[in-house]
Amino acid sequence: MRMRKLPWAQDFLKEQEVVVPDASALAGAWKQTLKRAELHVEIGTGKGDYWVQMAQKYPDIAWVGVEKNINVAALAVRKYTQLEQQPDNMLYIQGDAEVIDTWFAQGEVDVIHLNFSDPWPKKRAHKKRLSNHAFIARYAHILKPDGEIQMKTDNSALFEYSLMEFQEEGWRLKEVSVDYRREEHAEDVITEYERRFLEKGQPIYRAVFVKNGKEKDAPFPEK
């Protein structure tokens, strides 16, 4: 379903300090700006539930949200502004991740999150998938040597495609699940969007891909 146009979205985003007007100007300085030693980037935030809730859950981590659709981005940022107290570990980019390698310096990002990305089911549109080899090359540039991609989706075809794309690009599969929520994962929040699939009995597919290097501890320690 196409997102309706929000006439207030553009002006609203321009007024919010959490929205970075020129992301490339912060390349190499994101951690310094947010005063955090670890940087996570969510590409395709949708309406912002994951970005907002994870930033609250892990205040010692810097969280940057990215969304191409200006209307959806406005809803995500509005969710942030409606918090009783806005966390100081968050920033937002409204833009196309095709140029993500200009927004972050080489090796600057610790973890990239791909949550329920658009599956682009038609074969001619597969190049638009966020797990396409062209995007993977950009991720490899901005991730640290043992950086991770954490991916969740409800779409089995996209999941299978992604497993093959990352394998062909030489990434190591650290974790994989074809029914991620069959066990409790308190370290990873469940958004309203994800809960809809769970209520229908739809399995959630998840994989963690490692760029290279030694396996590191899970980024979200159990509490």
Binding residues: 42, 67, 96, 118, 122, 154, 191-194
What integer pLDDT is reported at residue 223 of this predicted model?
Answer: 35
Across the chain, mean pLDDT equals: 94
pLDDT exceeds 80 at position 153: yes
pLDDT exceeds 70 at position 220: no
- CATH class of the region 16-209: alpha beta
Q: What is the pLDDT of residues 100-115, one digit of tens each?
A: 999 999 999 999 999 9
- As a whole number, mean pLDDT of residues 10-25 equals 98
Per-residue 3-state assignment (H helix, E strand, C coil) for the chain? CCCCCCCCHHHHHHHCCCECCCHHHHCCCHHHHHCCCCEEEEECCCCCHHHHHHHHHCCCCEEEEEECCHHHHHHHHHHHHCCCCCCCCEEEEECCHHHHHHHCCCCCEEEEEEECCCCCCCHHHHHHCCCCHHHHHHHHHHEEEEEEEEEEECCHHHHHHHHHHHHHCCCEEEEEECCHHHCCCCCCCCCHHHHHHHHCCCCCEEEEEECCCCCCCCCCCCC
Pairwise pLDDT comparison (1 vs 85), residue with the higher score: 85
Binding residues for substrate: 122, 154, 191-194
Q: What is the pLDDT of residues 68-106, one digit of tens each?
A: 999 999 999 999 999 999 999 999 999 999 999 999 999
- Global pTM reads 0.93
pLDDT exceeds 60 at position 222: no
Q: Hey, which residues are catalytic here?
A: 118
